[in-house]
Structure 1
């Protein structure tokens, strides 16, 4: 063998080995690239699904801006022997509610068999009164959101003086009972 043959033989071995290395090196990035894109797609899909689920449950960053008026549970105990109505009133002390648009609270009745309608009444400094009736308060906690435009007789929300939750004798089935209110608040 001559020097030229030896060099050609070594060159063939070198080039052959280096081309095999390139082929191996090229195989791994293709696998990693596909796995990388699949993992990104799966992550985006799961993140989108999670956001949709949380948004539907209204737990997504709790976007309500609220003014809490009564955070404790309030008990309206009614017994209509001499009385014609029972109420729970909140003095709003000329509160400006122009920035808010919804009254929200939770309510339930104590007696499973009773059928109760609750009157919610707003009063402002100009003696304007407006009420909304909620029929059939459930025996389990239920969240209510009442939009301010439903209180049709209030024209000025800047000087609100009172909020009352009223149970009237003619709007209940039983003459004795209890209604619970919780988390009374104003929402934007």
Structure 2
């Protein structure tokens, strides 16, 4: 027997602390450290990839918008004499220079009717510009119009009016209903 074996035998009898148990406990503690480290690296990589995917996909709610009409507006038209039906929003000198897009939801009540909707901006300097949204859908559809497409408006700093109009010459039937909802401008 050499010294190591004698020491092991005495330690086993008197102290119950042998070198083999210490080596096993060191091996287990090292393996636990590696498992914990690997788990931490995995969790960090997972959270970084989730965070990156959230930043990459721009959520709908992250757009900066100014809601002009949160409720549903109803344009109920009945063209007995030749005229137009208008739903108008007073913008009260609203500054829209930092906004680029007008969005709203629109639908018609009668599926068979062919309707065109005129969207018109007016500023305090009496500049008017309109865009026609043709063939309104029978189900809710989001309409997106760039403010740069309103060519006759040169100054967006003092807007006075936003109007939605149904004109007699742009409808197939003389009676009907058009719904407009969630009118907003976006940056």
What residue is the counterpart of 1:63 in the other structure?
62
Per the alignment, residue 19 of structure 1 pairs with: 23
Match of 2:45 in 1: 41
Write the mapping of 1:2-151 to structure 2, written as runs, cut at 5 A: 9-10=6-7, 14-49=18-53, 51=54, 55=57, 58-59=59-60, 62-151=61-150
- Deviation per CA, 1:126-180, whole angstroms, max 9, x where unpaired? 2211100111211111222212110001111122222111111222222211000
TM-score (norm 1): 0.81
Q: Distance in 2 between matches of 1:142 and 1:93?
A: 28
- The 3-state SS of whatever aligns with 2:39 is helix
What is the aligned length?
Answer: 180
**Helix, strand or coil for the counterpart of 2:21?**
helix
Q: Report the CA distance between 1:8 and its aligned residue.
A: 5.9
**How many angstroms does 1:6 deviate by?**
7.1
Give RMSD over aligned pairs: 2.6
TM-score by length of 2: 0.81
- Change in Cα spacing, 1:19 to 1:149, as seen in structure 2 (3 Å) is same
**Partners in 2 of 1:185 and 1:169 — Cα distance?**
26
